[in-house]
Every structure is written in structure tokens, then in C-alpha cells.
């Protein structure tokens, strides 16, 4: 795997980029034809001349933009192409094609050349390219969304046949080549170029990474990495406050690496605990007196610590009350949309939430910057959901994804923990060594944040809890078990959490609980899938959480889910998962008001 540092694109005095967002030519291969386009080198053609060509917006999933079932449920290759004419004035700059997210496997071509490939749906990648300045260039991206045992997240892929013999003649149930693709996770496998794409234009040597570690005691250390090792270059670095006393320079220094104790800083706190003060580090790369690159990164001074019971931010016990969520919306699916992102964060704040988990993949980096600014604490999770096979192939890919994620998000003060995965089958013995290695990767890269994993195993069979700093647990008492028996809910939670606590004595967060409710479906007394039942289940869980919170067993809670979201089809899902306290359109169900009140009271109690 190729590691790219992939700093978030920036335009400034030195750096430029072109946005590649907009309509791209789009051609879908037949489902699972095993690469007709590659065999026939489609990247050599102008795809807009193909009879089945259409246009699809970037960023967006393609699945919900067409009426044909085969498009929505497509499994296999699709092709994106854009004609790009580079500006003459850019000759002499180094250029990179950058994609914030392509799900799942991407092969990127510039004209007749495969400039690079990337595996995994929700993290950025970039490849250096050489444009032809004398003509129109073709940027082609072939995307494959097929899931298997060795994709992360995994899925089942199975060809199916069933043949009766009727009067001596074969009678086949399934059409030729019929297959079933079943994701091992509970959300729709939206595919395509899901986030923005860019042409980055940089100088002959540039800043490829800035790693900032800033703690509550004012200690600051930074490392600037260049894209290639170059002697004789130096850096001028200043740090100034962004809010609330904008512009005050609190540090200036030189060198690609340095550290200091900065006086009189204002700390970054999650909302409810203080102000989320941010600073900006300006790194100027110098060749003698000539400025050859500038990168400005926001960050905050804050320290995350933990003991056996709690998480602390800047030494204050932090109780997270928030949401499991999805990047999911009508029409564009998992495609990035600033409108949805801002509405989501505003609605989280309206419900008085102070945290969320990026279930079940890293969210857009735009959102991480917004969480910094708003003071929302985030548990950032890799795309590993539903892991069941713990072999070396998956371990290598999983380590790669964890590394890419930490590389991308390390400077965000809002990120308070790294989650290695969601609900892996960690009752299996093989998971033990696998997760020990992953936890080591996390700690080696970033010793300033706790490492966690979201578990649905139990205290008596889980193999990996011992490697975790924080134990995150998903539980659905009163929904998947004891459905309808409200009186059993509170004790189920209390008993289960106390048993975990007794065995591992670590801080714990309930990262998922809840019940499905179809908006507008009501019954008194409530039954499953009514708004009343969702409220009743949630209230019972809150009774348990209050007890567990007061006796120090848990350090946080997150309702599943912030909003309804699309899944693949199943008899337990009605056009998606309805455990949202909001509808998919982000309008409140009854449960939203219960959460809003509870989170208000939790904020007031601080």
C-alpha cells in the first residue's frame, strides 16, 4: 500500500487547486462482468461517445440517481471520465489528482496511463500526474464496489443456481450468472466518487505533512514533512489564535521540527465544558529568503486522558452524550453535501449533543473541521465494520486504513479517540493477536489519544477488550431481545455493564442503543416500530444509564441513530433502518424531544 500524507487541499499565496466537482461522464458496466472496460481499455476512449453513457455529479453516490433497479443495486465496475484542459500558466508546477473518497476500489487514469489505484471508501488519496499542456486531457476513474472476504468492510458474494428436473428437462430458478451480494453491515453500500476531487498544483518541493501536538499545559511540538528530503530548506512557523482573541501570535519559531511551552493559551473544550478555542499554525517553507510553500493548519490545545472509569478533557471528567450517525441522505446517498453536513451538526446541537462517533467509516474532513470549531467531541472510526476474518491480508489492509485515518485527522482537537472497528467477531480467538497489533499501530502513531473498539460481544467471550483504553459497547435490550418487555430493559443494561466493569475495570461508553420507529406510526400502548415504543425503550435505557453514570461505570452514551438511513433490503428493514430519532429528512420524531431534554439536563448538571 502506498501511504500518502494527503493534507487537506488549501488555496493560498503559493498553493492552488482546481476543483473537479461537477458532472462527469459515467458508464456502467454490466454487473459483475469482471472488467470488460479494463480488458478493452476504456480509458483510451472518449466515454461520452458510448451509447450507454450518461452524466453523474461528483460528489455523489450514483445509486439513487437513476430509476433502474440494476443501477441502484449495481455490483462491479463503473467508469467516470472528465475532460480537463490544464492552464498554460500552470506548466512547471507539480500536479496531483486528489480524491477525498471513492468507494470502494479506484483505478485512476490520466490519458493512457494508470497513475494509481486506491483501496477503501472513505479516506483521501492523491497521485502525482503530468498533464499534456497541448491538448484536452482525459481523467478516468474506474470504480468497483464489489465486497468480499478481503474487503474492509466485508461482504458475501455468491453465484446461485437451483435447477429442478421436470419431465426430464432442467428447469432453472435463477437466470444465468445470477449472484447475490450481501454486505456484512447494516447500511447501503453507496458507491462512486463520494467526496470532492481536485487537481492540486504545488511547487517543486512542498509541505506534505504538518503534525501538531498541543497539550493543555501549553506544550506544543510540531513536525513538518516535505514531499521529498531536501537539504538547505528551513521553515518559519507562527501560531496565532483564531478565537476568541483573533490574530494574537502566541508562538513563533523556525525549523521543520520544534517544540516549546506556549504561555497564556486558551484551551479547546467540548461544548458545555468551556470554549473550543482554536489556533492556526502557519508553516512557511523557505529556500533562503524565498517562500516556496505555505500551509495553515488549525488545531487546539487540549489533553485527553483516562483512568479506569472516565475520560478527561483538560483534566475535567468528560461525559459524552451524543449520537451514532451516518453520512446518508436522499438522492446523493453517502455523497458529501455541505447542506446536509451543516444541518446535521446544527440538529445535533439543537438536541444538546456534545459528541458523535463516525460510525462506521471516517466522515468528511470538512466535518472534522466543523466539529473542531463547534466543540463537538468525536470518536473517529475506521471503515472496518462487521469484520469476521482475521487473517494477514485483512490485517495489512486494516492497518493501512487505520494509518490513513490517523494521518488525516491527527490535528483535529475534536477527535478524542480512535475506534479500530465496529462489531467485529471478537469472540473468535484469532481476533486477539490481530487487534493487539492494530492497537499498537494506533498507539505508535498517536500516543495522545485513547484507542477503542466498538463491541457487540459479551464480557465473558470477548477476546480484545484487554487491548482497549476505552470499551465501547452496543446493546439493544428491549429491541433485538426481550422485544416488548419494557420492564426487563433497565436491569439488562445495568447487569451487563456491571459485569464488563467487574472483569475489565475500564471506562465504558454505550455507543449504540435504541429502537426502530416509522415516523407517524403511533399506538398506545406502543408496539415495536411505533414512535411510542421507541420513546419507551429509550426512557428505560436512560433509567439504567443514570444509575451507571452515577456509580461511575460509564463515561458516555450515544443513541443509535441520529437519523433514519438507507440499508440493503431485508425483512427487518422498511426502506432502510428507522432507529433514527430524526427521519431521513432530518425532521424530529417524538424520541428527538426525549433526547433533547435528556442532553439538556446532562449539560446543566455539569
**Residue whose Cβ sits closest to ligand GCB:** 186
* Among candidate residues 188, 569, 123, the one with its CA nearest the CA of residue 368: 123
- CB closer to ligand GCB out of 100 and 186: 186
Count of Cβ atoms closer than 10 Å to residue 393 Cβ: 10
Between the alpha carbon of residue 495 and those of residues 92, 478, 490, the distances in Å are 66, 14, 9
* Among candidate residues 592, 23, 61, the one with its CA nearest the CA of residue 340: 61
Chain positions contacting ligand GCB, by CB under 6 A? 186, 360, 422-423, 456, 474, 512, 560, 577, 579
- CB closer to ligand GCB out of 439 and 454: 454
- What is the smallest separation between the CB atom of 384 and ligand GCB, expressed in angstroms? 12
- CB closer to ligand GCB out of 116 and 121: 121
- CB closer to ligand GCB out of 110 and 515: 515
H or E segment at 188? none
- CB closer to ligand GCB out of 188 and 400: 188
- Give every CB contact of residue 337 below 8 A, 6+ residues apart in sequence: 59, 329
Cell of 377: 467531541
Cell of 264: 497564556
Helix axes 392-409, 430-445, angle to 10 degrees: 30
- What is the smallest separation between the CB atom of 512 and ligand GCB, expressed in angstroms? 5
- CB closer to ligand GCB out of 297 and 564: 564
- CB closer to ligand GCB out of 409 and 512: 512
Three-state DSSP string of 324-384: ECCCCECCCECCCCHHHHHHHHHHHHHCCCCEEECCCCCCCHHHHHHHHHHCCEEEEECCC
- What is the smallest separation between the CB atom of 209 and ligand GCB, expressed in angstroms? 32
Any idea what DSSP says for residue 93? S
Cell of 514: 435504541
| Angle made by CA atoms 63, 65, 71, in degrees to the nearest 5 | 45
- What is the smallest separation between the CB atom of 497 and ligand GCB, expressed in angstroms? 16
**Residue showing cell 468551556:** 274
Find out whether 579 and 514 touch, Cβ atoms under 8 Å: yes
- What is the smallest separation between the CB atom of 561 and ligand GCB, expressed in angstroms? 7
Find out whether 233 and 291 touch, Cβ atoms under 8 Å: no
- Give every CB contact of residue 490 below 8 A, 6+ residues apart in sequence: 540, 541, 543, 544, 547
- What is the smallest separation between the CB atom of 188 and ligand GCB, expressed in angstroms? 11
- What is the smallest separation between the CB atom of 131 and ligand GCB, expressed in angstroms? 42
Count of Cβ atoms closer than 10 Å to residue 547 Cβ: 17
Q: Which active-site residues does the annotation give?
A: 423
Could you give the 3-state DSSP secondary structure of residue 397? helix
Amino acid at each position: 500500500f502506498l501511504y500518502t500524507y494527503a493534507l487537506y487541499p488549501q488555496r493560498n499565496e503559493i498553493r492552488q487547486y482546481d476543483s473537479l466537482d461537477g458532472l462527469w461522464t459515467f458508464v456502467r458496466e454490466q454487473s459483475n462482468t469482471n472488467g470488460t472496460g479494463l480488458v478493452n481499455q476504456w480509458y483510451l476512449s472518449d466515454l461520452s461517445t458510448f451509447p450507454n453513457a450518461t452524466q453523474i455529479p461528483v460528489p455523489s453516490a450514483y445509486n439513487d440517481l437513476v430509476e433502474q433497479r440494476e443501477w441502484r443495486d449495481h455490483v462491479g465496475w463503473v467508469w467516470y471520465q472528465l475532460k480537463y484542459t490544464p492552464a498554460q500558466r500552470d506548466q512547471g508546477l507539480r500536479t496531483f489528482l486528489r480524491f477525498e473518497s471513492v468507494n470502494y476500489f479506484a483505478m485512476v487514469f490520466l490519458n493512457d496511463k494508470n497513475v494509481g489505484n486506491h483501496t477503501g471508501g472513505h479516506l483521501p488519496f492523491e497521485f502525482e500526474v503530468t498533464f499534456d499542456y497541448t491538448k484536452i486531457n482525459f481523467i478516468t476513474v474506474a470504480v468497483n464496489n464489489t465486497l468480499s472476504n478481503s474487503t474492509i468492510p466485508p461482504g458475501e458474494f455468491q453465484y446461485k443456481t437451483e435447477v429442478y428436473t421436470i419431465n426430464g428437462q432442467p428447469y432453472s430458478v435463477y437466470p444465468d450468472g445470477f449472484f447475490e451480494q450481501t454486505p456484512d453491515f447494516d447500511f447501503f453500500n453507496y458507491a462512486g466518487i463520494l467526496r470532492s476531487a481536485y487537481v492540486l498544483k504545488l511547487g517543486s518541493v512542498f509541505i506534505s505533512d504538518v503534525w501538531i501536538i498541543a497539550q493543555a499545559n501549553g506544550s506544543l511540538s510540531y513536525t513538518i514533512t516535505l514531499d521529498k528530503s531536501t537539504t538547505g530548506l528551513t521553515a518559519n512557523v507562527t501560531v496565532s489564535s483564531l478565537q476568541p482573541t483573533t490574530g494574537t501570535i502566541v508562538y513563533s519559531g523556525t525549523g521543520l521540527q520544534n517544540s516549546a511551552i506556549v504561555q497564556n493559551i486558551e484551551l479547546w473544550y467540548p461544548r458545555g465544558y468551556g470554549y473550543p478555542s482554536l489556533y492556526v499554525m502557519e508553516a512557511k517553507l523557505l529556500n533562503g529568503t524565498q517562500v516556496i510553500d505555505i500551509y495553515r493548519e488549525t488545531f487546539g490545545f487540549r489533553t485527553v486522558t483516562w483512568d479506569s472509569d472516565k475520560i478527561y478533557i483538560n483534566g475535567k471528567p468528560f461525559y459524552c452524550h451524543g449520537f451514532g450517525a451516518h453520512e446518508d441522505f436522499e438522492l446523493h446517498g453517502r455523497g458529501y453535501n455541505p447542506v446536509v453536513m451543516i444541518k446535521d451538526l446544527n440538529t445535533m446541537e439543537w438536541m444538546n449533543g456534545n459528541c458523535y462517533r463516525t460510525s462506521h467509516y471516517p466522515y468528511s474532513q470538512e466535518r472534522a473541521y466543523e466539529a473542531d470549531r463547534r466543540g463537538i467531541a468525536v470518536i473517529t472510526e475506521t471503515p472496518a465494520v462487521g469484520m469476521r476474518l482475521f487473517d494477514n491480508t485483512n490485517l495489512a489492509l486494516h492497518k493501512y486504513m487505520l494509518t490513513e485515518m490517523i494521518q488525516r485527522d491527527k490535528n483535529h482537537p475534536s477527535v478524542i479517540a480512535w475506534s479500530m472497528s465496529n462489531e467485529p467477531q471478537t469472540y473468535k480467538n484469532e481476533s486477539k493477536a490481530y487487534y493487539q497489533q492494530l492497537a499498537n499501530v494506533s498507539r505508535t502513531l498517536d500516543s495522545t489519544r485513547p484507542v477503542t473498539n466498538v463491541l457487540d460481544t459479551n464480557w465473558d467471550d470477548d477476546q480484545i477488550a484487554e487491548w482497549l483504553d476505552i470499551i465501547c459497547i452496543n446493546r439493544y435490550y428491549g429491541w433485538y431481545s426481550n422485544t416488548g418487555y419494557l420492564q426487563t430493559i433497565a436491569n439488562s443494561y445495568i447487569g451487563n455493564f456491571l459485569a464488563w466493569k467487574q472483569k475489565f475495570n475500564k471506562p465504558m461508553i454505550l455507543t449504540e442503543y435504541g429502537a426502530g420507529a416509522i415516523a407517524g406510526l403511533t399506538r398506545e400502548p406502543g408496539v415495536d416500530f411505533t414512535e411510542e415504543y421507541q420513546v419507551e425503550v429509550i426512557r428505560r435505557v436512560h433509567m439504567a444509564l443514570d444509575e451507571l453514570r452515577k456509580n461511575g461505570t460509564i463515561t458516555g452514551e450515544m443513541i443509535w441513530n441520529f437519523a433514519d438511513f438507507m440499508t440493503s433490503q431485508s425483512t427487518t428493514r422498511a426502506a432502510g433502518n428507522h432507529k433514527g430519532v430524526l427521519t431521513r429528512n432530518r425532521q424530529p420524531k417524538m424520541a428527538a424531544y426525549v433526547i433533547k431534554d435528556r442532553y439538556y439536563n446532562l449539560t446543566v448538571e455539569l
